[in-house]
Amino acid sequence: MKLIINSDDFGLSKSITDGIVEGILDGYITSTSLMANLPDAEYAVKQALKHNIKCVGLHCNVTVGKPLIHNPNLVDAGGVFLYNRKQIENPNLTYEDAYNEIMAQVKKVDELSNGKLKIDHIDVHHHLEDNEYIKFAVHDIAKELNLPVRRQGYSLGLRRPDICYHDFTIENVNIEEIEKMINQYKNTNSVVELITHSGFIDDYTKTITSYIERDKELQILKQAKESGFFNSIELISFKDI
C-alpha cells in the first residue's frame, strides 16, 4: 500500500493554510491542493516556498469566490461564482468557460510563485466532476500538462490513485476510520488517496466555511502518525505516481 494524505482547500484561509503546512512539515499530510483564485492563495504560495513544500496541486474551483477571468456565465449578480450545485447544474456553463478559468488558475500559481512552484496534480472542489463540461476540461488540462488527477470520474488515460478514500473526512472523523482504511488496503499494491480537509480554525475561517472540524482532522492524523499507524505503509505524494 502506498498512501497519499491530501488536504484540500490550501489557501482558503490563512489558518487553514497554517494547519496544512504544520501537517506537511510534521509528516502526517503528504499533499495539498491550492484554491488559486482566492485572496489567501498568495499567502499559501508564500508559505509553500518558505518551507520548501512542493507537494501542491490545484484545487479547481468555480464555486467559491470570484473568477480570475471575468465571465458572466459563471457568476451571480454580485460577480461571485454560483455556489456548489447551482454551478454544477448551470445551463449557461460551457466547456470553454470551464477550460479557460481552470487554466487561468493553473497560470495563477505560476504567477504567484514567480515560476518557483509547479503543481503536481489536479483535483476539484465541491464535486465539480459531476458537471461533464468541467470534468472534460480538467481531463484535458491534466493531459496537456501531464499531471495526475484524483480518481473520481476520469479515464484510464490519466495517472491517478487506484482508490480515493473519502469516508474519513467530514463524515467519520475519528482514529478508528483511519485504522479501518489501513487495515483494508495495507496488504495490497494499491495507491490510495485519503482525502482530508485539515487545518486550523480561527474566527475568520468560521465565517467562510461551514465545515469547522478541520482542526479535529488535523489532530487525528497527527495521532495516527504518533501511534505508528503509518509505519508499515509508504507515504507518498502525487508526484510519486
DSSP secondary structure string, 30-63?
-EEEE-TTSTTHHHHHHHHHHTT---EEEEE-SS
Taking only the tens place, the pLDDT of each residue in 217-236 is 999 999 999 999 999 999 99
| Residue 9 DSSP class | E
* Angstrom distance (rounded) from CA 115 to CA 8: 22
Pick the CATH number of 2-240 from 3.20.20.370, 2.50.20.10, 3.30.70.100, 3.30.1540.10: 3.20.20.370
- pLDDT averaged over consecutive 10-residue blocks of the chain (241 residues)? 98 98 98 98 98 98 97 97 95 98 98 98 89 94 95 73 95 97 96 97 96 97 98 96 92
CB atoms within 10 A of CB 189: 8
Q: Specify the pTM.
A: 0.96
Domain ranges of the chain: 2-240
Give Cα 55 to chain centroid, integer Å: 11
